[in-house]
Chains A and B, each alone.
Chain A
């Protein structure tokens, strides 16, 4: 069944399922990268702050 949407009078077609999975995957990968980046960031800041530099 088509699940197209209308927003502000504009027709937004539902993307095909593989496309939605691709988008969700890209979000998950980006979130993983952000979390990893935060780990590295806090590690580096801690080293600098407590390293007496």
Chain B
């Protein structure tokens, strides 16, 4: 991070580089908006899990989840700097704007990622550390480097990386993974495609220009809207599963049902709307949807109190939630 002239890699960048970055540019590399959702869902997993982790260690676990997610984001920005420079939405990020040396960004991401996993392992437990490493690795190698530029299913499979944080939080608190965190994982996994395809609908020209095979680019607007609707319909019963399995009470059940119906309604609006307006609204609402759903999980548990009791209702087919 010195002001001296540096040699950098290829991918459309100059052979010399003068580092013009400020602290804010490095913070931007962490994708703070994505990080906030990751931290929140990770906290929900931590909060809902049975166990008695010391509050300081719980805070460390959350910090590791946040830093790990940020590290993955930084490495993603390093790898994607060529397509980020082409897209309107991302061209002012620190790397395509030329404020950060690509090598420094990669080093920053790798250092943070390794640091977050090691500290999670030393301070919390190895299961949480292994899941955090898996999440970072999945996002960087499977999503960013393998799927993103190759298949319109990129965010369907790659969405798993964003779905892991509640499972990591759960593992941090309890030291294990049971059916309940897998259910939280499944909810985010199912939520991811309609969330990103809504964005891709109104950013399809950008993606096309950058050569990223997002579904609207490859299969067209109509098929994407149909997929958004199908995923929204599939998500509605899935968010009711924790209620049906006795994880939560009526507060969660009613809210999840209402949110599920609104999500389907949003998808129907996207289906019928010939403009991008509904897709923009759907994208914004999908973020609110996930925040509200996980907030009501916490609120419901606070009202009911304590970790999930091991009742017969929570052990369908002998598998305890």
List the B side residues contacting A8 at CB < 8 Å.
Answer: 12-13, 82, 85-86, 96
A44 to B57, CA, bound (A): 9
* B contact residues around A44 at 8 Å (CB): 56, 60
Report Cα–Cα, A27/B26, bound state, in Å: 9
Partner of A27, one of B23, B56, B82: B23
Which of A6, A23, A29, A31 meets B20, CB within 8 Å?
A23
Q: Given A8-B12, A8-B96, A48-B56, do A30 and B18 touch, yes or no (CB 8 Å)?
A: no
Q: Is the CB of A12 within 8 A of B56?
A: no
Does chain A have a CB within 8 A of B305? Answer: no
A27 and B1 in contact, given A3-B18, A20-B20 (Cβ under 8 angstroms): yes
Is residue B227 within 8 Å, beta carbon to beta carbon, of the partner chain?
no
- Binary per-residue interface labels of chain B (109-133) against chain A in the complex, 1 for a CB within 8 Å, 0 otherwise: 0000000000100110000000000
- Option from B56, B57, B96, B123 in Cβ contact (under 8 Å) with A7: B96
Q: Among B3, B21, B54, B96, point to the contact of A53 (Cβ < 8 A).
A: B54
B: number of interface residues (CB 8 Å) = 28
Chain A residues with CB under 8 Å of B12's CB are 7-8
* B97 touches which of A12, A30, A41, A53 (Cβ 8 Å): A12
Contact with B along A1-40 (1 / 0, CB 8 A): 0010111101010110000101110110111000000000
**B98 at interface (Cβ–Cβ under 8 A)?**
yes
B24 touches A26 (CB 8 A): yes
Output the least CB separation between B42 and chain A (Å).
Answer: 17
Q: By the criterion CB–CB under 8 Å, are A41 and B60 in contact?
A: yes
Structural contact, A26 and B56, CB atoms closer than 8 A: no
Docked-complex contact B14 and A5, CB < 8 angstroms: yes
- Asked if residues A5 and B21 are in contact (CB atoms below 8 Å), the reply is no
Q: Please measure, in the bound complex, the distance between the C-alpha atom of A4 and the C-alpha atom of B69, giving whole angstroms.
A: 34
Known: A10-B98, A29-B23, A31-B1. 19 other contacts (CB 8 A): A6-B14, A7-B14, A7-B96, A7-B97, A8-B13, A8-B86, A10-B85, A15-B20, A23-B20, A23-B21, A26-B24, A27-B22, A27-B23, A27-B26, A41-B119, A45-B123, A48-B57, A49-B123, A53-B54
Pairs A–B under 8 Å by Cβ, sample size 26 = A6-B14, A7-B13, A7-B85, A7-B96, A7-B98, A8-B85, A12-B98, A14-B18, A15-B20, A20-B3, A24-B3, A26-B22, A26-B24, A27-B23, A29-B23, A30-B23, A30-B26, A30-B27, A41-B60, A41-B63, A41-B119, A44-B60, A45-B56, A45-B57, A45-B123, A47-B56
